[in-house]
């Protein structure tokens, strides 16, 4: 478990716990922001992947990734924009997801299985923006194609 420093403790004090995966814990900071805290070295790697992918992506890709607002230079935590609108697992949106997966591939990005299996997507990692554009909120397991 990664040790929480004073800043991290202050940031999450009194904040709502949203959920946890194998490598990270997520808190609701309010003001449409979430705080992802690494639980392990794998969590740090996931945070690092998200930061690097977001910062290095061009606009056509970046607009489909949850916006990173701030991050720790050691990647122990990341602050991201919160997206509330759930991804509807219906044919219309699975088709949009299929196009997005192709766009990622075309740009040298291999999405995690939870996203690239668009026939049966893992919907907790997906949301819709206000304009109904698909956005990935957990892309820590994405890879660059070699």
pTM score, whole prediction: 0.94
Collapsed DSSP state (helix, strand, coil) of residue 28:
strand
Tell me the pairing of strands 68-71 and 77-81. Answer: antiparallel
Q: How far apart are CA 32 and CA 128, in angstroms?
A: 14
Residue 69 has what pLDDT?
99
Whether the CB-CB separation of 29 and 77 falls below 8 Å is answered with no
CATH number of 6-81: 3.30.200.20
Q: What is the per-residue pLDDT across 4-61, written as a single tens digit (0 to 9) for each?
A: 999 999 999 999 999 999 999 999 999 999 999 999 999 999 999 999 999 999 999 9
What's the rounded mean pLDDT across residues 68-88? 98
Domain with CATH 3.30.200.20 in the chain: 6-81
Average pLDDT of the chain, as a whole number? 96
Closest C-alpha to 64, from 79, 51, 54, 77: 54
- List all residues 6 or more positions away from 20 whose beta carbon is below 8 Å from its beta carbon: 26, 39
């Amino acid at each position: 478990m990664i040790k929480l420093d004073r800043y991290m403790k202050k940031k999450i004090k009194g904040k709502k716990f949203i959920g946890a995966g194998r490598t990270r814990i997520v808190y609701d900071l309010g003001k449409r922001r979430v705080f992802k805290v690494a639980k392990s070295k794998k969590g740090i790697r996931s945070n690092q992947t998200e930061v690097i992918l977001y910062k290095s992506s061009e606009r056509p890709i970046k607009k489909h990734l949850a916006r990173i607002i701030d991050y720790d230079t050691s990647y122990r935590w990341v602050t991201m924009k919160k997206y509330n609108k759930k991804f509807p697992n219906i044919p219309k949106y699975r088709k949009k997801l299929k196009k997005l997966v192709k766009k990622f591939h075309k740009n040298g990005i291999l999405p995690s299985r939870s996203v690239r299996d668009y026939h049966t997507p893992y919907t907790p990692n997906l949301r819709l923006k206000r304009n109904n554009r698909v956005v990935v909120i957990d892309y820590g397991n994405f890879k660059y194609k070699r």
